[in-house]
C-alpha cells in the first residue's frame, strides 16, 4: 500500500536530499578554505587558541574604586584599558589580553609566567591628579621650567582674595578651621591610599609625598592625569641645543590638558611659595610637586630638579602609565600553572570522549542502525564546530576555556537531543501506519518546527548568559550558542537528508528489525487500521494525512479492542524477534 507514495516521492525527496548535502559540503569546504587562508596568510592556526585556564598564565580582574553613588563610564573604562595595555606592553609581555567585563570590570589575562614587575605595573591602581599646593611644611626643590620663554613676563592675575568662598583652586580660603586642624595633626603614616583615591576631585586633599618627608594641603583637582598624552625623560638642553647634563621629565598634554594647564600656570606663576607649587598626585600620594617657573601655554612643561636618569625615567613612567582616569583595585587574581592547565584540558577531552561513547552506546541501544545517522551527524557537527572555533579564535580572538570545553561536551547531548526528537516523530508517523518515505517527510515537517522552537530557547539562554555573564560564564555561553546554531544546521543539512536517502534503501524501508524503524516493533498491528481506511489513489497528500488522523481519532475504542486482540495474538512472534 505504500508503493505508490514511495514511487511518486522518490525523485523529489532524493533530489532535495542531495541538494542539502551539497550545501553542507560547500559549507564545510568554505570553512576549511577560510581556515587554510588564515593559516597561510594571516597567522591563523589549525588548533583553537586556549584560554588561560587551559594554557597556564595569570588572570587579574580589576574593579574600579568608586565613591558612593559614583559610576564609571564606558569611555573611562576604555581609556583605562588602553593605559593598562601600554603598561603591559611596556614590560615586553606579548599576547596579553586586556578586556572590559560587564560595565565596570577590567580583565587582564597574561599567558605564561608573570614577573613581579609586570604584576605591579598592572596592580598599582594609579590614578593621577594634578592639584595646586595651598600649604606645605617644607618647600620642594623641584621646579617647573617653561619651555616657552616668550611668556616669561606674564602677570599674576589670580591674586588670592581672603573671601570665605574660594575663587580658585589655590585660594587659601579653602582652608577652613577644621581642615587646618586636620592638616596640623596629619600623620603621613596614616595615609589610606585606597581612601585617598576616592577623595572627591572638587575638594581639598591633605596628603604627603611618597617618602613621607613633606606634608601638603592641596586644592581641588585642576588637571586630570588622563590629559597627559606622553611623558618622557631626557637631558635638559640649553637654548643653543647643547646638553646641560641634567635630567628632566618632559610632559605633553592633550588639548584639554594644555588649556587647563595654561590657566593654572598663569595663576601659579608668581605666587609666593608654597602656593606656586603644583602637585602630581598618584594614588593619593604626591610623586612630585614642582614650583611654577613660568607660564606654559603650549601644553609641554618640563620638570627639572635633582633627577638621575633612573629617577627621571621612573617619574616619566608614572606620569605616563599611571594616568588612569579612575583607580582600580584587584578583585581577583588567578595564576594557573601550565601543567595544571594542560591536565585540565586533558581531563576535559577524556570526559568528552567518555560522554560521546556513552551517547553512542545508548543511541545504538535505542535506535539500532539508525544510530549510525546520529553518530555521523555528531561527527559532522564536531567537524563544523572545530573549524568554526579555530576560525573564530584566529579572527575574533576567541579562546577555548575549560568552561568552553564543558559547553562542547554538554553540546554532545543537546545535539543528539534534536535527532531524538526527529526520530521519535518519524516513529510516530510509522505508528500511524505510514510507509517509511512518507513517515520521514511528515515526521520531519513536525520535528523541524519543534527543533527550531526549542533550539531558539537554548540560543536565547546562551545570548542572555553571554550578555549578562561575568568571568568564565561567557566562554561557556558563547560556545553553547555556537553549538546550538551548528546543531540546527546539521539537523537540516545532514540528518534529514541522510534519513531521506536511507528511507530509499531496502534495509530501512523493509523495516528490518535492526533498522530502528521496524514498523512491527513500532506497533505494526495498527497498520490494519490504515488499511481499513486506505485512501483513494487520487487524494492529495495532505488529505491522506488528515484522513489518517481522522481514522485514528474516530477509531479510538475499536482501535483499542483491535489492539488488544492483536497484541494477544502478536506477542509470541514479537518476543521471538526481540530475544
Partner 1 sequence: MASRLTTFGNDLYTGKRSFNFVGGRRKWYAIAAVLIILSVLVPVFRGFNFGIEFRGGSQFLISNVAEATQQPAIDAVASVVPDAVARVTIVGDDGVRVQTDQLEAAETREVTTALAEAYDVPESEITSSFVGASWGEDVTRQAIIGLIAFLLFAAIFMALYFRTWKMSAAAILSLFADLVVTAGIYAASGFEVSPAAMIGLLTILSYSLYDTVVVFDKIRENTSWEGDESRRTFPESVNLAVNQTLVRSINTSVVAALPVAAILFIGAFVLGADTLRDISLALLIGILVGTWSTVFIAAPMYSQFREGEPAIKRHDERVLKERGQATGSQEEPAAVGS
Interface with partner 1 in residues 515-534 (CB under 8 A): 518, 521-523, 526
Q: Which of residues 105-164 bind partner 1 (CB under 8 A)?
A: 105, 113, 116, 119, 123
Please select the residue that binds partner 1; options are 6, 10, 368, 512, rule is CB under 8 A: 368
Q: Is 406 in the site for partner 1 (CB under 8 A)?
A: yes
Report the alpha-carbon distance of residue 285 to residue 206 in Å, rounded: 9
Instruction: Report in angstroms the alpha-carbon separations of 462 from 398, 406, 537.
Output: 16, 14, 48
The owner of cell 614650583 is 291
Please check whether residue 205 is in contact with residue 131, taking contact to mean a CB–CB distance below 8 angstroms. yes
Q: Which of residues 287-306 bind partner 1 (CB under 8 A)?
A: none
Burial (CB count <10 Å: 0-12, 13-18, 19+), residue 95: exposed
Q: Is 67 in the site for partner 1 (CB under 8 A)?
A: no
Please select the residue that binds partner 1; options are 175, 330, 375, 489, rule is CB under 8 A: 330
Q: Is 559 in the site for partner 1 (CB under 8 A)?
A: yes
Q: Report phi then psi at 98, rounded to 5.
A: -125, 120
Task: Supply the minimum distance, in Å, between the C-beta of residue 549 and partner 1.
Answer: 7
Task: Supply the minimum distance, in Å, between the C-beta of residue 407 and partner 1.
Answer: 8
Question: Which residues make beta-bridge pairs with 286?
Answer: 209, 281
Interface stretch with partner 1, choices 224-232, 259-267, 305-313, 555-563 (CB under 8 A) = 555-563
Please select the residue that binds partner 1; options are 100, 424, 489, 528, rule is CB under 8 A: 424
Interface stretch with partner 1, choices 34-42, 173-181, 356-364, 497-505 (CB under 8 A) = 356-364
Please select the residue that binds partner 1; options are 8, 99, 273, 343, rule is CB under 8 A: 343
Q: Is 375 in the site for partner 1 (CB under 8 A)?
A: no
Reading phi first (left if > 0) and then psi (alpha if -120 to 50, else beta), residue 101 is in: beta
Q: How many CB atoms lie within 10 A of CB 193?
A: 16
Please select the residue that binds partner 1; options are 5, 38, 53, 266, rule is CB under 8 A: 53
Q: Is 573 in the site for partner 1 (CB under 8 A)?
A: no
Q: Report phi then psi at 247, rounded to 5.
A: -95, 145
Task: Supply the minimum distance, in Å, between the C-beta of residue 362 and partner 1.
Answer: 6
Report the alpha-carbon distance of residue 364 to residue 375 in Å, rounded: 9
Please select the residue that binds partner 1; options are 273, 445, 560, 565, rule is CB under 8 A: 560
- By C-beta, is 265 or 363 nearer to partner 1? 363
3-state DSSP helix/strand/coil % of the chain, to nearest 5: 55, 15, 30
CA atoms within 13 A on the CB side of 579: 6
Q: Is 376 in the site for partner 1 (CB under 8 A)?
A: no
| Count of residues in contact with partner 1, rule CB under 8 A | 98
Report the alpha-carbon distance of residue 236 to residue 247 in Å, rounded: 6
For partner 1, what does the binding mask look like between residues 188 and 227, x meaning CB under 8 A?
A: ----------------------------------------
Q: Is 458 in the site for partner 1 (CB under 8 A)?
A: yes
Task: Supply the minimum distance, in Å, between the C-beta of residue 522 and partner 1.
Answer: 6
Strand 215-218 versus strand 205-208 pairing type: antiparallel
- By C-beta, is 76 or 472 nearer to partner 1? 472
- By C-beta, is 84 or 158 nearer to partner 1? 84
Please select the residue that binds partner 1; options are 1, 37, 181, 460, rule is CB under 8 A: 460
- By C-beta, is 34 or 410 nearer to partner 1? 410
* Torsion, Cα of 534, 544, 568, 571 (10° steps): 110
Q: Is 574 in the site for partner 1 (CB under 8 A)?
A: yes
Peptide bond into 274 cis (omega under 30): yes
Please select the residue that binds partner 1; options are 248, 286, 421, 491, rule is CB under 8 A: 421
Task: Supply the minimum distance, in Å, between the C-beta of residue 288 and partner 1.
Answer: 25
Residue (of 415, 321, 348, 334) closest to 81 by Cα position: 321
* Torsion, Cα of 448, 453, 457, 458 (10° steps): 0
The owner of cell 605633553 is 252
Q: Is 478 in the site for partner 1 (CB under 8 A)?
A: no
Q: Which of residues 428-457 bind partner 1 (CB under 8 A)?
A: 428, 431, 446, 449-450, 453-457
In sequence order, what are the residues at sequence separation of 6 or more whose Cβ sits closer than 8 angstroms to the Cβ of residue 569?
Answer: none
Q: Is 427 in the site for partner 1 (CB under 8 A)?
A: yes
Q: Is 1 in the site for partner 1 (CB under 8 A)?
A: no
Q: Is 409 in the site for partner 1 (CB under 8 A)?
A: yes
Q: Which residues of 228-266 are buried (b: 16+ CB within 10 A; e: fewer)?
A: bbebebeeeeeeeeeeeeebbbbbbbeeebbebbbbbbb
How is residue 370 annotated by DSSP? G
Interface stretch with partner 1, choices 126-134, 221-229, 284-292, 329-337 (CB under 8 A) = 329-337
Task: Supply the minimum distance, in Å, between the C-beta of residue 251 and partner 1.
Answer: 30
Report the alpha-carbon distance of residue 125 to residue 80 in Å, rounded: 10
Please select the residue that binds partner 1; options are 48, 284, 290, 348, rule is CB under 8 A: 348
Residue (of 97, 152, 141) closest to 122 by Cα position: 97
Interface stretch with partner 1, choices 25-33, 75-83, 204-212, 359-367 (CB under 8 A) = 359-367
Report the alpha-carbon distance of residue 261 to residue 521 in Å, rounded: 88
Residue (of 490, 397, 400) closest to 25 by Cα position: 490
Q: How many CB atoms lie within 10 A of CB 46?
A: 12
- By C-beta, is 123 or 182 nearer to partner 1? 123
Task: Supply the minimum distance, in Å, between the C-beta of residue 507 and partner 1.
Answer: 17
Amino acid at each position: 500500500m505504500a508503493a505508490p507514495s514511495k514511487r511518486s516521492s522518490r525523485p523529489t525527496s532524493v533530489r532535495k536530499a542531495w541538494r542539502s548535502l551539497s550545501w553542507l559540503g560547500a559549507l564545510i569546504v568554505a570553512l576549511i578554505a577560510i581556515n587554510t587562508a588564515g593559516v597561510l596568510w594571516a597567522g591563523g592556526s589549525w588548533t583553537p587558541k586556549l584560554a588561560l585556564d587551559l594554557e597556564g598564565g595569570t588572570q587579574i580582574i580589576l574593579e574600579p574604586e568608586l565613591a558612593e553613588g559614583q559610576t564609571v563610564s564606558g569611555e573611562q573604562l576604555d581609556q583605562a584599558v588602553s593605559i593598562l595595555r601600554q603598561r603591559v606592553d611596556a614590560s615586553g609581555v606579548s599576547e596579553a589580553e586586556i578586556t572590559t567585563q560587564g560595565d565596570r570590570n577590567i580583565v587582564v589575562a597574561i599567558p605564561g609566567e608573570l614577573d613581579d614587575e609586570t604584576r605591579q605595573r598592572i596592580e598599582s591602581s594609579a590614578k593621577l591628579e594634578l592639584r595646586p599646593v595651598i600649604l606645605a611644611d617644607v618647600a620642594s626643590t623641584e621646579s617647573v621650567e617653561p619651555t616657552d620663554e616668550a611668556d616669561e613676563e606674564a602677570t599674576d592675575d589670580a591674586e588670592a582674595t581672603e573671601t570665605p568662598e574660594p575663587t580658585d583652586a589655590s585660594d587659601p580660603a579653602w582652608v577652613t578651621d577644621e581642615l587646618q586642624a586636620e592638616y596640623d595633626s596629619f600623620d603621613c603614616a596614616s595615609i589610606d591610599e585606597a581612601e585617598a583615591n576616592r577623595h572627591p576631585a572638587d575638594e581639598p586633599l591633605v596628603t604627603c609625598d611618597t617618602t613621607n618627608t613633606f606634608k601638603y594641603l592641596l586644592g581641588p583637582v585642576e588637571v586630570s592625569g588622563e590629559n597627559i598624552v606622553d611623558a618622557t625623560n631626557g637631558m635638559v638642553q640649553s637654548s643653543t641645543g647643547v646638553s646641560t647634563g641634567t635630567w628632566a621629565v618632559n610632559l605633553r598634554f592633550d588639548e584639554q590638558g594644555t588649556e587647563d594647564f595654561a590657566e593654572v600656570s598663569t595663576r601659579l606663576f608668581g605666587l609666593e611659595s608654597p602656593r606656586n607649587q603644583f602637585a602630581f598626585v598618584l594614588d593619593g600620594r604626591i610623586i612630585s610637586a614642582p614650583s611654577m617657573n613660568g607660564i606654559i601655554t603650549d601644553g609641554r612643561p618640563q620638570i627639572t630638579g635633582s633627577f638621575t636618569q633612573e629617577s627621571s625615567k621612573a617619574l616619566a613612567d608614572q606620569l605616563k602609565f599611571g594616568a588612569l582616569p579612575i583607580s582600580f583595585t584587584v578583585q581577583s587574581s588567578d595564576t594557573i600553572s601550565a601543567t595544571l592547565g594542560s591536565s585540565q584540558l586533558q581531563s576535559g577531552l577524556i570526559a568528552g570522549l567518555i560522554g560521546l561513547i556513552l551517547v553512542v552506546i545508548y543511541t545504538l541501544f535505542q535506535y539500532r542502525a539508525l544510530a549510525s545517522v546520529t553518530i555521523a551527524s555528531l561527527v559532522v557537527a564536531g567537524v563544523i564546530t572545530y573549524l568554526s572555533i579555530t576560525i573564530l579564535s584566529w579572527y575574533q580572538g576567541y579562546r577555548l576555556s575549560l568552561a568552553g570545553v564543558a559547553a562542547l561536551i554538554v553540546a554532545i547531548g543537546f545535539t543528539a537531543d534534536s535527532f531524538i526528537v526527529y526520530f521519535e516523530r518519524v516513529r510516530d508517523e510509522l505508528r500511524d501506519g505510514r510507509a517509511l518515505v512518507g513517515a520521514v517527510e511528515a515526521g520531519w515537517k513536525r520535528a523541524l518546527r519543534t527543533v527550531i522552537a526549542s533550539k531558539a530557547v537554548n540560543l536565547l539562554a546562551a545570548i542572555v548568559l553571554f550578555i549578562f555573564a561575568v568571568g568564565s560564564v561567557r566562554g561557556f555561553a558563547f560556545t553553547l550558542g555556537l553549538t546550538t546554531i551548528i546543531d540546527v544546521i546539521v539537523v537540516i543539512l545532514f540528518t534529514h537528508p541522510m534519513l531521506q536517502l536511507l528511507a530509499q534503501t531496502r534495509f530501512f524501508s523493509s523495516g528490518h528489525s535492526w533498522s530502528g524503524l521496524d514498523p512491527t516493533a513500532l506497533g505494526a498491528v495498527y497498520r490494519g487500521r490504515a488499511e481499513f481506511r486506505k485512501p483513494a489513489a487520487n487524494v492529495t497528500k495532505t488529505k491522506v494525512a488528515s484522513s489518517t488522523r481522522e481514522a485514528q481519532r474516530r477509531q479510538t475504542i475499536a482501535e483499542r479492542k483491535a489492539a488488544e486482540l492483536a497484541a494477544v495474538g502478536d506477542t509470541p512472534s514479537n518476543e521471538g524477534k526481540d530475544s
